[in-house]
């Protein structure tokens, strides 16, 4: 593996010197005393990771990261903070700008371990991107279906879920996933309610720990119902049922997932009540329709995802679930696929942002 370069940014010279002494044995270290100086270094050097103090006079750490995300979106960002700025933490997580928060006074071994883990993740990501490029090149070159199958299995299984491999192997047009394809799916969009209030009473480490515990249990439920986690959204999650591999009655699978997540809240909130003295609620929006599915992104980062109006509508539906707590709302398109399998209550027609016509929404009560 190549030797990574790390940029440390702090307006206090003593802190800057201490960071440099701590890190220079393992990595090439650049230093900057301001956000502007850091941006100049970033433009002219191959930097893998930035460590920045949050509280700097001219540009805060998160403000610096917002600027760096425009010119170097692949750089890993770690912020050091001596106080709990909850709103900055939530905003940064939602924007995907911060890899981790470390509180002052930091410990040398803690910061070295954090950076080592982050750079190992970066190396694996780069290797996966290389494998993807190699796979696509080999697919275009190989003419024999037997040779093509061997090559796909050899490269593909190293970095994607098994169900994706099986789906590709069943197709004649093996490279359709990479080019994009239309797929009928159901999309589940979930948001954690009351999370900002909870975060205001929590340290940055506690916020991340709570999110990780919630996402861990939620992801297992999604996968057990043959869905995929498309992405984490700060204090929310987007899941897809029906892509890349087809799912029999993907609408029902999405609804079962939402009901199981809702039920699992009892266990999660019991843990959270003991830890923080309060629980959380959720809101879930589900929509069904045709999307474009495939690998989307840039040469720096590619991911399998879905795009289209059906996805946007799932987000719009979820916006209506703020009251009452733990509401699961589905669209009329989803309801038509499951109307003999679930009990619902109509909320009537609602005006969606960006939609000319009103859409009828249904609250899921239970399975029939």
What DSSP assignment string belongs to 239-286? EEESSSS--TTHHHHHHHHHHHHHHHHHHHHHHHHHHHS---EEEEEE
What CATH code is carried by the domain that includes residue 265? 3.30.70.1230
Do 112 and 131 fall into the same domain? no
Do 227 and 321 fall into the same domain? yes
pLDDT, residue 162, reads 57
pLDDT, residue 159, reads 34
Do 137 and 274 fall into the same domain? no
With vertex at residue 55, the alpha carbon angle to CA 53 and CA 57, rounded to the nearest 5 degrees, is 115
Could you tell me if 148 and 174 are in contact, meaning their C-beta atoms sit under 8 angstroms apart?
yes
pLDDT, residue 155, reads 43
Do 169 and 186 fall into the same domain? no
Could you tell me if 103 and 61 are in contact, meaning their C-beta atoms sit under 8 angstroms apart?
no
What CATH code is carried by the domain that includes residue 78? 3.40.50.2300
Do 221 and 254 fall into the same domain? yes
Do 112 and 224 fall into the same domain? no
Q: Single out the residue of 121, 87, 107, 82 nearest to residue 4, CA to CA.
A: 121
Q: Single out the residue of 56, 95, 103, 58 nearest to residue 79, CA to CA.
A: 103
Do 231 and 346 fall into the same domain? yes
Distance, in Å, from the CA atom of 353 to the CA atom of 138, rounded to the nearest integer, reads 44
* Domain final residue pick, 138, 158, 177: 177
Instruction: Name the residue with tokens 């090559």.
Output: 151
pLDDT, residue 331, reads 97
φ/ψ (deg, to 5) at 343:
-100, 130
* Domain final residue pick, 132, 155, 177: 177
Do 218 and 156 fall into the same domain? no
What does the chain come to in residues?
A: 368
pLDDT by residue for the chain (368 residues), tens digit each? 568 999 999 999 998 999 999 999 999 999 999 999 999 999 899 999 999 988 888 888 888 888 888 888 888 888 887 755 556 666 655 554 677 778 778 888 889 998 988 888 888 777 777 777 777 666 666 555 555 555 555 544 433 345 555 655 565 555 555 567 889 999 999 999 988 888 888 888 899 889 989 998 998 898 888 888 888 888 899 999 998 888 889 999 999 999 999 999 999 999 999 999 999 999 999 999 999 987 776 655 567 788 999 999 999 999 999 889 999 999 999 999 999 999 999 999 999 887 788 999 999 999 98
Distance, in Å, from the CA atom of 95 to the CA atom of 248, rounded to the nearest integer, reads 34
DSSP state of 186: E
Q: How many structural domains is the chain composed of?
A: 3
Residue range of the domain that includes 345: 181-367
Distance, in Å, from the CA atom of 199 to the CA atom of 208, rounded to the nearest integer, reads 9
Do 216 and 189 fall into the same domain? yes
Largest Cα–Cα distance in the chain?
69
Distance, in Å, from the CA atom of 134 to the CA atom of 299, rounded to the nearest integer, reads 13
**In angstroms, what CA-CA distances link 46 with 4, 40, 74?**
8, 12, 11
Q: Single out the residue of 325, 330, 319 nearest to residue 353, CA to CA.
A: 319
Distance, in Å, from the CA atom of 311 to the CA atom of 233, rounded to the nearest integer, reads 14
Do 58 and 173 fall into the same domain? no
Do 10 and 113 fall into the same domain? yes
Sheet containing 100-103: order of strands: 28-32, 5-9, 49-53, 76-81, 100-103
* Domain final residue pick, 162, 177, 192: 177
pLDDT, residue 156, reads 42
Do 113 and 140 fall into the same domain? no
């Amino acid at each position: 593996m190549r030797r990574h370069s790390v940029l440390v940014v702090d307006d206090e010279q003593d802190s800057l010197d201490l960071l440099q002494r701590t890190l220079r044995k393992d990595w090439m270290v650049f230093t900057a005393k301001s956000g502007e100086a850091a941006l100049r270094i970033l433009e002219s050097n191959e930097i893998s990771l930035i460590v920045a103090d949050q509280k700097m006079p001219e540009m805060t750490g998160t403000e610096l990261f917002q600027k760096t995300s425009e010119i170097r979106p692949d750089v890993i960002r770690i912020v050091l903070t001596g106080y709990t700025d909850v709103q900055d933490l939530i905003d940064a997580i939602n924007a995907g700008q911060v890899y981790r928060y470390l509180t002052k006074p930091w410990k040398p071994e803690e910061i070295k371990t954090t950076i080592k883990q982050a750079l190992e993740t970066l190396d694996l990501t780069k290797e996966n991107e290389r494998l993807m490029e190699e796979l696509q090149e080999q697919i275009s070159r190989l003419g024999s279906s037997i040779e093509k199958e061997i090559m796909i299995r050899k490269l593909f299984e190293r970095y994607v879920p098994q169900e994706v491999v099986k789906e590709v192997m069943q197709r004649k047009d093996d490279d359709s996933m990479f080019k994009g394809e239309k797929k009928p799916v159901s999309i589940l969009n979930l948001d954690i309610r009351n999370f900002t209030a909870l975060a205001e009473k929590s340290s940055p480490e506690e916020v991340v720990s709570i999110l990780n515990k919630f996402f861990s249990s939620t992801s297992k439920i999604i996968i057990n119902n043959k869905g995929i986690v498309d992405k984490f959204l700060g204090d929310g999650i987007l899941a897809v049922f029906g892509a890349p591999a087809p799912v029999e009655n993907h609408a029902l699978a999405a609804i079962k997932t939402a009901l199981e997540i809702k039920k699992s809240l009892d266990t999660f909130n019991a843990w959270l009540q003991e830890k923080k003295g309060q629980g959380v609620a959720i809101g879930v929006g589900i929509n069904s329709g045709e999307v474009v599915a495939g690998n989307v992104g840039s040469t720096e980062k590619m991911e399998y995802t879905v795009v289209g109006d059906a996805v946007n509508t799932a987000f719009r539906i979820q916006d209506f679930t703020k009251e009452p707590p733990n509401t699961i709302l589905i669209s009329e398109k989803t309801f038509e696929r499951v109307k003999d399998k679930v009990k619902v209550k109509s909320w009537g027609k609602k005006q969606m942002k960006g939609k000319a016509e009103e859409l009828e929404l249904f609250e899921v009560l239970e399975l029939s």
